[in-house]
Amino acid sequence: MASVDVRCTVSNCYFWAKNDLCSADSILITADSAADGHARMAFGTENHGDLVASMGDTPAQSMASTACHTFKQK
């Protein structure tokens, strides 16, 4: 699998690393409308395979209507 350069400026995230890099092993991104039904969703609290299967496809109309759920506060 190709390495992906993921940058993040959320400095109080557990996965925030030097040079604004994200150090998470995996990243889950959904449309905001799909995330609304999974308010308890947080990285590491649910099996993401099961979660993704239950959500199905989550099309978004714009970048602003997506949600990255990798954040974990330090």
29-48 pLDDT, tens per residue? Answer: 877 777 666 655 555 555 66
Q: Is residue 18 part of a domain?
A: no
Q: What is the pLDDT of residue 2?
A: 61
Instruction: Determine the structural domain holding residue 53 and report its residue range.
Output: 25-68
The pTM of the full predicted model, rounded to 2 decimals, is: 0.62
Question: Is the residue at 62 inside a domain?
Answer: yes
Tell me the C-alpha distance between 70 and 54, whole Å.
Answer: 18
For residue 48, is it within any domain? yes
Residue 61 lies in a domain: yes
Domain count across the chain: 1
Per DSSP bridges, beta strands 21-22 and 66-68 are: unpaired
Two structure tokens written together for 24: 């998470």
Report yes or no on 51 lying in a domain.
Answer: yes
- How much of the chain exceeds pLDDT 90, in percent? 12
Domain membership flag for residue 50: yes
Angle (CA) 5-11-13 rounded to 5° is 80
Report the distance separating Cα 38 and Cα 51, nearest Å: 9
61: its two tokens: 């109309």
Residue 14 placed within a domain: no
In which residue ranges of the chain is pLDDT below 70? 1-2, 35-48, 69
